[in-house]
Structure 1
Amino acid sequence: MLNIKLKSGIDKLLFGMKEKDVRALYGEPDKTYKDEDKNIIWLYNAQMLRLTFYADEDFRLGYIIASHPELELFGQKVIGQDWKTAEKIAGDNKIKAFEKESFDTVDNYFNETNWVIFQVEFGRVVKVELGAIINVKDDEFDWKFKA
């Protein structure tokens, strides 16, 4: 079971972890590459996770994309749910403000306060993206993992 922990991470993954910390939890990734910003991307096929370690933040885990069918938000599965059901799960837990952006067959529903995106295709949630939060006070990432 993969639980989304808004502002913190997913499952045992916490924003701010380094590669060695993630490796200790899940072992070697199935695939690794660098994006155009020199960030390191790790893919875990079994967990259906894409992890981004930010180059300009000393390669700390800063972004997670998940599409595993067991992914849960507030104890309820979200992958495969229709958007209205997922929106109700979020709304029942005081997450109500979503900005909608559409690309071809996909609608992204973004909540900035929690830095979460629900990607919806054919009316169903297919992917959840979760990013580390910026602390407004000092304009730095609010890393949850304490080494």
Structure 2
Amino acid sequence: MKINLKNGIDKLLFGMLQKDVVAIYGKPTKSYKDEDENVILLYNDQKFRLTFYVEEDLKLGYIVSSNEDLQLEGQKIIGKTMEVVKKDLAPKGLKTWDEESFDTFENYFNEDFWMIVQTEFGYAVKVELGAIIKNDEFEWKFKK
């Protein structure tokens, strides 16, 4: 399952509507609204949590995944230490990481690509990818 920096993951592209995602992956395992009224779709088989922003006409703007097959430029991420992830991804342009620690988790955030790698007990367990904002506007990648 390929991470496409600034674009999405697998067949998902930032800017898709719910109907576009359902056409590809079928009915979600679960759907609900968060505290901001954004729509969240969960796909257990793909290990996706997808956020559709209410203030952006319910376009896909954020993807969270813990799928073991996630790859960036042929490098798997889940299950690796952050030291290995950083070494693997540095040649791909992901060189600067802001670190934040809480409880048993550490978040490593790369602002240029709006990507978070979350580790627990020293190993990557989750990747979060957000749509890029440029000049206060989202750069939607999905074209109808």
TM-score (norm 2): 0.98
**Contact persistence 1:73–1:89 (CA under 8 A):** no
In structure 1, how many angstroms separate the alpha carbons of the residues matched to 2:37 and 2:66? Answer: 24
CA RMSD, aligned part only?
0.6
Q: Give the SS at the match of 2:6.
A: coil
2:82 corresponding residue in structure 1: 83
1:118 corresponding residue in structure 2: 117
Q: Post-superposition shift, 1:135?
A: 1.4
Matches within 5 A, 1:18-97: 18-97=17-96
User: Can you give the 5+ residue segments of structure 1 that lack an aligned partner in the other structure?
Assistant: none
The amino acid across from 1:117 in the alignment is: I
In structure 1, how many angstroms separate the alpha carbons of the residues matched to 2:63 and 2:87? Answer: 22
In structure 1, how many angstroms separate the alpha carbons of the residues matched to 2:53 and 2:73? Answer: 27
Q: Post-superposition shift, 1:73?
A: 1.0
TM-score (norm 1): 0.96
Question: Which runs of structure 1 show a deviation greater than 2 angstroms over 4 or more consecutive aligned residues?
Answer: none
Q: Deviations over 1:101-136 (max 9, x none)?
A: 111110000000100000011110000000000012
The amino acid across from 1:4 in the alignment is: I
User: Can you give the 5+ residue segments of structure 2 that lack an aligned partner in the other structure?
Assistant: none
Q: Deviations over 1:9-50 (max 9, x none)?
A: 000000000001000100000000000000000000000000
Q: Post-superposition shift, 1:86?
A: 0.7
In structure 2, how many angstroms separate the alpha carbons of the residues matched to 1:94 and 1:140? Answer: 23
How many residue pairs end up in the alignment? 144
2:142 corresponding residue in structure 1: 145
**Contact persistence 1:74–1:89 (CA under 8 A):** no
